[in-house]
Structure 1
Amino acid sequence: MSIKPKLSRFDLTMIVISLVIGMGIFGTPSDVATRAGNTPVFFAAWIFGGLVTLCGALTFAEIGARYPTTGGFYKVFSYCYHPAFAFMINWVLVISNAASVAAVALLGSEYISPLLLPQSLQNSTGTKITTIAMVLLLYVINFLGIKMSARAQNVLAIFKVGMILLLCTAIFRHDYIPSEWVATPHQGSLITAFGLSLVPVFFTYTGYAQTINFGGDIINAKKNIPRAIFIGIGIVIALYLAINYAYFSVLGLGGLQHTHTLAAAMSSVIFGATGAKVTSILTFVSVVAYVNVNILSSPRVYYAMAEDGILPAIFKKINPKTQVQEFGMSFFVAAILVILFFVSSFSEMLNYVMFFEIIGVTAAALSIFILRKKTRDLDITGIYTIKWFPLVPVVFIISYCFVILNIFISFKESPYAALFCLAAYALGFGIYYLSVRNKREAA
């Protein structure tokens, strides 16, 4: 049974927003301020990051319009490069996605547990109980059907956007005490400061490329994928610039450098003593939206791999009524629950996740040049095409390569980290060829 289109443009727009806006915007501005060292570099990083993200959005909008298919992030690699390369990139992303979902879910539960659990359960055990309950509840919602999970995603995304706008109103309060922290300048050149600042900026902007996984789920995909990406990314960029201006206006650059709980700081300005509770709710809703959209997206990659025969056929089995990959989704949720028991360091794990994400997104963006040649016949059909081609994808790819270089620089404290990341890709390459060889021998 194949996947039938059931999601509207609005559904996909909310998915784009949820894929991008996670926990990052409530914490990474502090890292950006520390790495930037001065106000111009801080805002330049966010503005430049927004422009590059827009270039990426335009690139993936055309990729999605030219090749709308379920599990598009895998299929594009397979179609434009080679199935081995597609598996090598995506198998790591599938694992890292499950790991990042587990870690973010755990972090969100730490915020909400004090409001839900009795004092005796406000510990690591209680946090894991809350996390497991949240993941299982979302699993049940997604099991009821893709339209049900999309409706839940829409509500969560709208609530999240509303809460960010509410935090921005802190700039209209005049009774808060201005931050007395003095900004610490960056020790090094402006180029280095700018480059290192872009690493957390791009982490906060990333995620939208996974939108092309829903190519088979979207009604009129060739038109609605580009439009949903434009609208979603436009909203995200506007929200990010607005809330960073609010952070800076209330806390100053020095306050940003020394305050990692930015949402809590802003909530306390608006709501006073109840600010901590508002922060807990905001953070938890952001986490729930992030977990839900990944439960929606990641199994679509399994579906594409199963279509190519890399994974067993059961991964592409679809319930004809609900359009749910019951086994694939169950496998992904089970992976999250298993990883929950092994997650130790959230920040350390995110360094690896960011490395894999940027490598995968950059390689996917490069496919637009191959895809244009292979699908020339579509040019006369009225599909979306990038107006300033090849400038737009080139700007995006060069910028991401610059960030990859800075991630390698940030790995200098752990010299084996980069080697580990490259070894993970090599292992995926080996697994693919072992799978192909075993399949041939069986045949």
Structure 2
Amino acid sequence: MTKTTTQKEVKLKKVLGIVFGISIVVGSTIGAGILRTPGSIAALLPNKLLILACWLITGLYILLCASSYAELTTMMPKAGGSFNYIKRAFGTFAGFAAGWFDFILNVSAPAFFCIVLGEYTSLIFLQLAGHDKVVGIGYLTIFTLLNLPGIKTSSAAQKVTSILKVILLLVLVTGCFFAKPQIPTVAIVTKPTILNGALIIAFFKAMQLILSTFDGWMAVSFFAEEDENPGKNIPRSYFIGALTIITLYLLINGAILYVLPLTTITNSPLAASAAASVAFGNWSSTMINIIAIFTVISILNAYMLIPSRILFGLSREGFFIKQATLVNKGGTPYVSLLVCYVLTFIFMVYNTYEQIFSLAAVMLTVVTASSFASLLMLRKKEPSLYRPYKVWGYPYMTILALTVTLVLFVGFAISDTRSFIIVAVLFLVSYPFYRLIIRANGLSD
């Protein structure tokens, strides 16, 4: 594939370090999902140990993934993440499809986060009730303007909001473990858990929900081009960030399961709020609202940055308009950021983000599996390529990560057939668009 010289020379500023790397992994992953999903998972799985096991297994899978991603990211520290590796391993169309899948997922996410922020803000400031969407658009505009001047401002905001988020979640956990557990009003008879088809399907559905709360663990890959020392900082960011998330998720779930009966969790759309009411009494609603707002603000800031980097990378490869590669003095790909703002605004106004958001786990497994396959392919095709970090236990750990991802994909396809069909159709439809774009930009395969 040929590109113009101008496109090849466009670079982002190398000003980021390990603290940003960890904060972007933590900030882009831990969101409102961890406050909402425990109830849904409790409704699927029959006992507390099985619930914790599901969270732990998913967390170990993320660690397994992080090792392979660390090799890919340090090998090709370019803006945009996964599509770069997939393109190099499997060709232009594969990279195009993976890149746009990734972009669609990430550009729709801020719409959801802004709506959630509008809801929680209205709970604190009652005069805003009924104006959730307007408040959400206000958040979207503020964080776009905050990130427009440059990456240093964005980095500082991400670090501060991520630290505050972790502190507030630990306050919730501590309060729950120091509280007196709620006694079930109805005696619960625990039945032996029998491994059967229904339970396996339920386990996959639970993992799909949990995996969506881990979505964002690979966020540092989108900023590799801006890291001062990617060979050293990127692997540490992956592992420290992933371990922080896994520990927090287990602590939060353990705290909720400790302080509330399983029946209460199952019947609660916001189990964290019910747990907070036991731990903090009259202060619980204010406490959970503040935690939710800071949790979502941190993830919103991250997701204002991520899709603009993907779009910048896609545009540099000729997969979008060349104007989207323009970078201001502060290091922000400002045209890409503004395009993302407009698209997210549209998603919010027309509520079209909901279906796309529900496709997240299925699309994520497609992109992730393709990334693992690209690592195996590139080790074979380009063995002499410089690799500052190499995945431990290669090729077995990468093959295991790929196998688990494919199993998850099959499980999700069975448990969520609608999303699988939509993803398959999007992939098929993407090829005509690919031919159109490369022809319009004068590119060749």
Q: Same fold (TM over 0.5)?
A: yes
Please give the alpha-carbon distance, in whole angstroms, between the structure 2 residues aligned to 1:254 and 1:116: 32
Task: After TM superposition, give the deviation of residue 420 of structure 1 in Å.
Answer: 2.1
When residues 58 and 106 of structure 1 are mapped into structure 2, their CA distance, relative to the original with a 3 A threshold, is same
Residue in 2 that maps onto 1:2: 11
Corresponding residue of 1:12: 21
> What does residue range 71-86 of structure 1 map to in structure 2 within 5 Å?
71-86=80-95
CA contact (8 A) 1:203 1:354 kept: yes
Q: Tell me: CA distance 1:391–1:268, structure 2 relative to 1, closer, same or farther (3 Å).
A: same
Q: In structure 2, what residue type is equivalent to 1:240?
A: Y
Match of 2:340 in 1: 332
Residue type of the alignment partner of 1:100: A
Select the residue among 351, 369, 373 that pairs with 1:343. 351
- The superposition leaves residues 347-376 of structure 1 with CA deviations (integer Å, 9 ceiling, x where unpaired) of x54321222122112211221112323443
Q: Distance in 2 between matches of 1:366 and 1:267?
A: 43
Match of 1:159 in 2: 164
Match of 1:255 in 2: 264
Cα drift, residue 96 of structure 1: 2.8
How far apart, CA to CA, are the structure 1 residues paired with 2:256 and 2:48? 12
How big is each residue's C-alpha offset from its partner over 1:252-290, in whole Å with a ceiling of 9 and x where there is no partner? 332222222122122212221121111111111122111
Q: Residues 291-344 of structure 1: CA distance to partner in whole angstroms, max 9, x if unpaired?
A: 11111111111111111112111111111x200111110110111111101116
Change beyond 3 A, Cα 1:229–1:345: closer
Matched-pair contact (CA < 8 Å) for 1:20–1:206: yes
Identify unmatched segments of 5+ residues in structure 1. none
Residue by residue over 1:14-45, the C-alpha shift from the partner in whole angstroms, topping out at 9 and shown as x without a partner, is 00111211122112222222222223321221
**Which residue does the alignment assign to 1:361?**
368
**What is the rounded CA distance, in whole Å, between the counterparts of 1:337 and 1:345 in structure 2?**
10
Q: Distance in 2 between matches of 1:425 and 1:184?
A: 45
Q: Is the 8 A contact 2:82 2:98 kept in 1?
A: no
Aligned counterparts of 2:238 and 2:443: Cα–Cα separation in 1: 43
TM superposition shift of 1:68: 1.0
Q: Are the aligned partners of 2:80 and 2:309 in contact in 1 as well (CA < 8 Å)?
A: yes
1:129 pairs with one of 116, 128, 134: 134
Matched, 1:322 2:327: no
Residue matched to 2:6 = none
Matches for 1:369-408 after TM superposition, within 5 Å: 369-378=376-385, 383-408=388-413
2:132 aligned with 1:138:
no
Contact 1:37–1:183, Cα closer than 8 Å, also in 2: no
User: Which stretch shifts more, 39-48 or 424-433?
Assistant: 39-48
SS in 2 for 1:27: helix
Whether 2:120 is the aligned partner of 1:111: answer yes
Separation in structure 2 between the aligned mates of residue 229 and residue 303 of structure 1, nearest angstrom: 22
Structure 2: tracts of 5 or more residues without a match: 1-9
Instruction: Give the superposed CA RMSD.
Output: 2.3
Partner of 1:388, secondary structure, is coil
* Contact 1:73–1:301 (CA under 8 A) maintained in structure 2: no
Contact 1:3-1:216 at 8 Å conserved across structures: yes
2:210 aligns with 201
Name whichever of 134-143 and 39-48 sits farther off: 39-48
What is the letter of the counterpart of residue 15 of structure 1? I
Structure 2 distance, partners of 1:52, 1:225, is 18
Aligned with 1:266 (options 275, 278, 291): 275
Matched residue, 2:201 = 192
Give the conservation status (yes or no) of the 8 Å contact 1:41–1:193: no
Query: Contact between 1:180 and 1:255, CA under 8 Å: does it hold in 2?
Result: no
Q: How many residues align?
A: 431
Structure 2 equivalent of residue 437 of structure 1: 439
Deviations 1:201-222 (A, max 9, x none): 2222222223211111001111
Among candidates 65, 70, 80, match of residue 61 of structure 1: 70
Cα deviations by residue, 1:139-171 (Å, 9 ceiling, x for unpaired): 111012101111101111011111111111134
**What is the alpha-carbon distance in structure 1 between the residues aligned to residue 207 and residue 443 of structure 2?**
48
Match of 1:234 in 2: 243
Alpha-carbon distance, 1:184 to partner: 9.2
CA contact (8 A) 1:110 1:127 kept: yes
SS of the equivalent of 2:224 reads: coil
Which amino acid in 2 is paired with 1:170? G
Q: What displacement does 1:237 show?
A: 0.9
2-side partners of 1:308 and 1:218: how far apart? Answer: 20
- Aligned partner of 1:423 in structure 2 is 425
C-alpha distance in 2, partners of 1:89/1:70?
14
Distance 1:23 1:247 in 2: 15
Give the structure 2 partner of residue 311 of structure 1: 320
Aligned match for 2:175, one of 140, 145, 170: 170
Q: Deviations over 1:211-246 (max 9, x none)?
A: 211111001111111111111111111111111111
Q: Name the CA distance, whole Å, in 2 between partners of 1:111 and 1:16.
A: 24
Maintained 8 Å contact 1:8/1:218? yes
TM normalised by structure 2 equals 0.91
TM-score where L is the length of structure 1: 0.91
Cα distance in 2 between the residues matched to 1:77 and 1:167: 41
Shift in alpha-carbon separation, 1:314–1:179, aligned structure 2, 3 A: farther
